[in-house]
Amino acid sequence: MRWLEQECLKIERKKQRKACRRYFILGILAALLVFIIVGVWYITLEETSTSVIRVEGTIVAGDGLGNGYVGSEYVGRQIRSAADDPLVRAVVLRVNSPGGSPAAAQEIITDIEYAKGKKPVFVSMGDIATSAAYHISAHADRIYANPDTMTGSIGTIWLVYDYSRALDEDGVVIEVVKSGEKKDIASPYRALTDEEREYLQVIVDESSELFIEDVVAQRGIERSVIDDARPIRGEEALQIGLVDEIGNLFETISAADRFASS
């Protein structure tokens, strides 16, 4: 009987040692998991940053960049990528553009609103941020400009060139076969008719109205201070509410960081 008791005791001790080893291994794994989680959290905290996206050149629809132009798809993709990146805490648009296509600006605005649903979006204006460039800026959470930044010019313009007299002098005759009376409207080889001029004015007025109403809604300013479509210096823009602060790119980045952390 004593032999049996000793054997049972040995078996029990083996079980206890196995249990201890199991708990020891589980403890190590738990500590390692905690260490990994804390490490990832610390790295993430240290590496979060403000993303600077440049909108430089005439704004057009498309995915191009260069030769003085910037595409709405190119800008929009960068904005959405920054908005979805967990390591980006804020977005700063560095805008240095005379404007461009109203439709292209509308595309970028949609992407800005997407980003604003996830993190703050600030604008830093450079030399110039007029017309469509101001339109996209108006949708940011805050706008920074330099005292002599040229901004404003809130309206729509359509340039029509008439080379018909030069063509006549050179003896060039252009014949047009068209499917509708206004199919060749705004062509450079002939002058506009009065009816065509009125029609184009309606298009320009409707586009401008949409632009002005949106700026008024976004910035909470009086329509009368912008409806003459004049270019406006940064200091005056601050006074009338088109921008929020005077400051350069680095001051804008610091402000966006503080805003995101608050």
Q: Collapse the DSSP code of 59 into the 3-class scheme (helix H, G, I; strand E, B; otherwise coil) and give the result.
A: strand
C-alpha span between 259 and 147 (Å, rounded): 23
Catalytic residue check, 254: no
Enumerate residues 6+ apart whose C-beta is below 8 A from 37: none
Label residue 146 left, alpha or beta by phi (over 0 means left) and psi (-120 to 50 means alpha).
beta
Catalytic annotation, pick one of 183, 224, 254, 262: 183
User: Which H, E and C letters describe 22-56, residue by residue?
Assistant: HHHHHHHHHHHHHHHHHHHHHHHHHHCEEEEEEEE
Tokens of 91: 């977005």
Catalytic residue check, 116: no
SS3 content of the chain, % helix, strand, coil (to 5): 50, 20, 30
Neighbours of 13 (CB within 10 A): 10
Catalytic annotation, pick one of 51, 131, 137, 153: 131
Rg (CA), the chain: 31
Residues noted as catalytic? 131, 183
